[in-house]
Amino acid sequence: MRDLLVVGGGIIGLAVAWRALGAGLSVTVLDPDAGDGATRAAAGMLAPATEAEFTEDAALALHLAAAGRWLTFAADLEAAAGTGVGLRESGTLTLAYDDTDAALLRRLLALQARHAVSSRALTIAEARRHEPLLGPRLSGAAWVPGDHAVDPRAVHAALQRAIADGHGAVVPRAAVRLARHEGRVVGALDDAGRVHRAGSTVVAAGWASAPLLADLPEVTVPVRPVKGQTLRLQTDPDLAPRHVVRGLVQGRPVYVVGRSPATEGPWAGHCEIVVGATTEENPDDRRATAGGVFALLRDARALLPAIDEAALVEVTPRARPATPDNLPLVGPTHVPGLHLATGHHRNGILLAPLTAEIVVAGLTGSWFDVDVTRADPPTLLAALRASDPRRFPSPDPDTRRTDGGPR
Ligand code: GLY
């Protein structure tokens, strides 16, 4: 019997588990292949501004608050694990390829200004000074100093180490259903027939959270898979971008995230570059497609032609967990003992530290008592409310509670 069972060992599940251990809870994580879901494909952009969408103000507030937590989270995790997490605070260069892309970029800058996000238009000459290897055809550029990147695989490895050091267990088994007693969720049954009992259970299984919870009449978990393909390349450091490059190429978004040179392994002395990502309303079929790879390389090399010289070493197709309103499901549900941490869609890496903070606050009875460091607490509070898992009505009206959720 543990205090907490976490179903799902991606970056979200492990961040929750690690912070829960830090709060004094005993923790088990269940995942047959921890880190092999969306975490494996993610490039690691910490990009509230450059990933902002029109009409999604609550999401932007949430993402800005999450970005503000990454420095402390990375420093704490590196100290706990004794390994780096590849945080690069180098800012993001946003590029527009043609005139229509430049018009959209101007609208994005206006959106960012309305939300007091620091960003500014650059001339093409200024953009080339930031990033000398840009392609010949560009129509617009902007600089977003606060959007950074981290290496999700390094973060995941560090979390595994820190959890092991903290006496947490990561069990390589799949949860097949939740265990219940007198209405309460009391753990989960794994695919070997073993029941993992716990005082509380957090389901953080990405898009697979929906099928796992399908037979619970009290909760609605409208999470669907949205497939994305990313590419990993290796290049000489002289040919790697210095900053995250986010582009619009004839209306299609593309991003290029470079890492510092590797110090060991087969690519020691080279820089990894991640190019992403396709967005496909498709299931998690794990199939790389020729069309997906072609489109990503075509658009990335339009911005950074030196990509032609890099070695293409990996194509990673995985599915993000998306919700109907593009906000995650984070916190307690109507079912005693059951909490959710899923639905993070394009921002799972960015949202991991804040999600862990919110979930642990819910587990320890201080829901909404999270440390609000942002200048605009009411906005953050509204964003946290907007992420409440209880916002989607239960299919069974008799099981709806009227007193539990924040409103
Ligand atoms: N965060 C970018 C993506 O999901 O592709």
- Separation between Cα atoms, residue 139 and residue 141, nearest integer Å: 7
| DSSP codes, 207-257 | GGHHHHTTT-TT-----EEEEEEEEEEEE-GGGS-SSEEEEEETTEEEEEE
Least confident range of 46-55, 220-229, 276-285? 46-55
| Residue owning the nearest CA to atom 3 of ligand 1 | 346
Which CATH number, 3.30.9.10, 3.10.350.10, 3.30.1330.10, 3.40.50.720, labels domain 92-145+225-322? 3.30.9.10
Question: Which residue, among 361, 383, 362, has the nearest Cα to 371 in the 3D structure?
Answer: 361
Q: What angle do CA 52, 55, 58 make, to 5 degrees?
A: 70
**C-alpha 299 – ligand 1 centre gap (Å):** 16
pLDDT band for position 381 (cuts 50, 70, 90):
confident
Report the atom number in ligand 1 closest to the C-alpha of 230.
5
Dihedral sign from CA coordinates of 5, 11, 209, 19: positive
Q: Are β-strands 45-46 and 148-149 bridged in parallel, bridged antiparallel, or unpaired?
A: antiparallel
- Separation between Cα atoms, residue 371 and residue 354, nearest integer Å: 10
- Mean pLDDT value of segment 73-78: 98
| Residue owning the nearest CA to atom 4 of ligand 1 | 346
Report the atom number in ligand 1 closest to the C-alpha of 350.
1
- Identity of the amino acid at 105: L
| DSSP codes, 73-108 | HHHHHHHHHSS----B---EEEEE-SHHHHHHHHHH
List Cα–Cα distances, 259 to 36, 45, 154, 263, 364, in angstroms. Answer: 20, 11, 11, 12, 37
Tokens at residue 15, please?
């961040």
**C-alpha 166 – ligand 1 centre gap (Å):** 31
| Residue owning the nearest CA to atom 2 of ligand 1 | 346
Please enumerate in sequence order all residues whose Cβ is within 8 A of that of 43, keeping only pairs 6 or more positions apart, or say none. 149, 152, 230, 255, 257, 274, 275, 276, 277
Report the atom number in ligand 1 closest to the C-alpha of 47.
1
Is 347:326 a contact under the CB 8 Å cutoff?
no
Tokens at residue 197, please?
């009992």
**C-alpha 347 – ligand 1 centre gap (Å):** 7
pLDDT at 299 over 90: yes
Tokens at residue 337, please?
């003992």
Q: Note the pLDDT tens digit of each residue in 322-370.
A: 999 999 999 999 999 999 999 999 999 999 999 999 999 999 987 655 5
Domain boundaries defined on the chain: 2-41+154-222+324-399, 92-145+225-322
**C-alpha 273 – ligand 1 centre gap (Å):** 15
Report the atom number in ligand 1 closest to the C-alpha of 346.
4
pLDDT band for position 401 (cuts 50, 70, 90):
very low
pLDDT at 405 over 70: no
- Separation between Cα atoms, residue 262 and residue 84, nearest integer Å: 12
Predicted structure pTM score? 0.94
**C-alpha 48 – ligand 1 centre gap (Å):** 11
Computed over every residue of the chain, the mean pLDDT equals 93
The predicted structure's pLDDT at residue 234: 98
Is 7:173 a contact under the CB 8 Å cutoff?
no
Tokens at residue 106, please?
């101007």
* CATH superfamily membership of 2-41+154-222+324-399: FAD/NAD(P)-binding domain (3.50.50.60)
Using CB distances shorter than 6 Å, the residues near ligand 1 are 45, 228, 276-277, 320, 346
- Separation between Cα atoms, residue 305 and residue 98, nearest integer Å: 16
Q: Note the pLDDT tens digit of each residue in 234-262.
A: 999 999 999 999 999 999 999 999 999 99
3-class SS of residue 79:
helix
- Separation between Cα atoms, residue 23 and residue 12, nearest integer Å: 17
